[in-house]
Structure 1
Amino acid sequence: MKTALITGATSGIGREFARQLAERGYSLILTGRRVERLEELKEELQVPVEIIEADLNKKKACFALLKKLENTQIDVFINNAGFGVAGSFLDTDMDKEVSMIKVNDVAMHILFKGMLQKMHQAGTGHILNVGSSAGLLPGGPYMAGYYASKAYVVSLTRGVAVELKEKGSPVKVSVLCPGPVDTEFNDTADVVFSLKGISPEFCVAEALKGMDRNKLIIVPSFRMKLATTFSHLAPYPILLKLTGRQQKKKLG
């Protein structure tokens, strides 16, 4: 039985990855801060599930997770933990924004690198870093820190993919770049999506299809594929104004 590791599995996309990978017959290792939610999910699933409590806002927790799993083969790693902060950069809470960067970028980086080295040595594996369509755009006024944090995820994954190909590594990497998804993300970021979101079920199904095809960049809806393609054609000043206008609507 293959094993999948999923961070941020307590809700939303992470929780749905657990369900759909369980349906594919994977045993699961789930991490998150809200253990009671992970226990509820474990009861629901018909596969072996190991729960590891981890606050990925702390570097020590990231390295401890890697240490705990050093003798466990991981076939798929869903590097999913993350959240957003919305509002004018002048006004957003500094502590919350720094925490976002620690989870979205620092924890993502540590776990990506650690699991990649482990998989490369084992000669097998696939890592999916969960980014955002925001990471494919030049910037996002009124959610500037979040857009920047997800651009880091996309850029890092793209660069590493080239290195792995040149080394002939059997390990595959992908980055998931959805637009709005109907999850608790909205409440955490204090936003109201002005565009209709896709369901977590659809998002994860498209992500897994993309992984099956070894796609590097996975954008799980036709509308967002069009939007990100348009972003390469539109002049940056116009695109930033359009993005900023859309972000303002999210603030309610």
Structure 2
Amino acid sequence: MKALITGASSGIGREFARYLAELGYDLIICARRTDELYKLRDELSNVRVRVITIDLSREQDALDLYEHLSIDGEEIDVLINNAGFGVYGKFSDTPLDRELQLLHTNICSLHILTKLFLGDMLKRGSGLILNVGSMAGFSAGPTFSSYYASKNYVVRLTEAIHEELRRSGSKVKVSVLCPGPVNTSFNDVANVKFSVGGLNPRDVARYAFDKAQKGKMVIIPGAGMKVVKFFEHFLSEKALTRMSYNVQSRKDGNGNA
């Protein structure tokens, strides 16, 4: 069995790699930071680990990744689309080039890899895809608008594919992980500080993969986030957006509200 994990150099992606190695999966780990990938490879000595340096903010890299693995005869049983990042600030102020990199990483490359590897899995009649979304995928995010919008895409795309597979009776599984705050380097990249404590990425990764194997469509780790999701059903979109602004305004990386 073999798993491909993007964004594997840190955070949840690294913990996915560690957990799947425990389960006996050979791994293909991808990210931009080559040194961190090789450290992880050396740590996971019980399985075969292939390192691929890739920048998924360039869509061509996603296409090249699939092509190269296909040429090499690599059969992917598990795909974990974990690569992604956020850009914090008012939409009128955030740099366009950085936002486009976000959209290419969080949406376009995830879409490409999901579509191409799903096709292979359907031909074989087996496989699992786990897309990493966010609780941000259920609402708008003033001052974090592009990130929230990108995760909305990930959530809705995955839900739609899940239902298509269910209707066709396919054994291929597709799930989306939607955590709240997690203690990872995401916060530093986005230049934000969460106002509430984050979950342990190790716990999130293990919980998510176990649920994905059972075929759960939307995976929300942590009792607190499940409660938040439940009560969102009773609020209007306007109220949710106003509440989201109040939450996001506390994330200013400079400590400003």
Normalised TM-score (structure 2): 0.95
Aligned to 1:226: 227
One-letter amino acid of the counterpart of residue 91, structure 1:
D
CA distances 1:175-228 after superposition (whole Å, capped 9, x unpaired): 000000000000000100111100101111110221132100000111011111
**Counterparts in 2 of 1:90-169, with a 5 A limit?**
90-137=92-139, 139-169=140-170
Q: Which deviates the most, 47-56 or 205-214? A: 205-214
Q: Which runs of 5+ in 1 are unaligned?
A: none
Aligned to 2:183: 182
Q: Which runs of 5+ in 2 are unaligned?
A: none
| Distance in 2 between residues matched to 1:243 and 1:27, nearest whole Å | 40
Q: Which deviates the most, 37-46 or 160-169? A: 160-169
Aligned to 1:12: 11
One-letter amino acid of the counterpart of residue 132, structure 1:
S
One-letter amino acid of the counterpart of residue 202, structure 1:
D
One-letter amino acid of the counterpart of residue 205, structure 1:
R
1:68 Cα deviation (Å)? Answer: 1.4
Query: What secondary structure, in the 3-state scheme, does the structure 2 residue paired with 1:69 have?
Result: helix
CA distances 1:36-92 after superposition (whole Å, capped 9, x unpaired): 110000010121100111111112111111111222211111111100011111111
One-letter amino acid of the counterpart of residue 240, structure 1:
T
Identity of aligned residues (%): 47
Q: Which deviates the most, 161-170 or 83-92? A: 161-170
| Distance in 2 between residues matched to 1:41 and 1:59, nearest whole Å | 25
Aligned to 1:88: 90
Segments of 4+ moved more than 3 angstroms: none
Normalised TM-score (structure 1): 0.97
| Distance in 2 between residues matched to 1:56 and 1:238, nearest whole Å | 35
Aligned to 2:192: 191
Aligned to 2:38: 39
| Distance in 2 between residues matched to 1:207 and 1:218, nearest whole Å | 6
One-letter amino acid of the counterpart of residue 147, structure 1:
Y
Count of matched residue pairs: 250
Aligned to 1:51: 51
| Distance in 2 between residues matched to 1:53 and 1:181, nearest whole Å | 24
CA distances 1:141-197 after superposition (whole Å, capped 9, x unpaired): 110111000000000001111111222222110000000000000000010011110
One-letter amino acid of the counterpart of residue 211, structure 1:
A
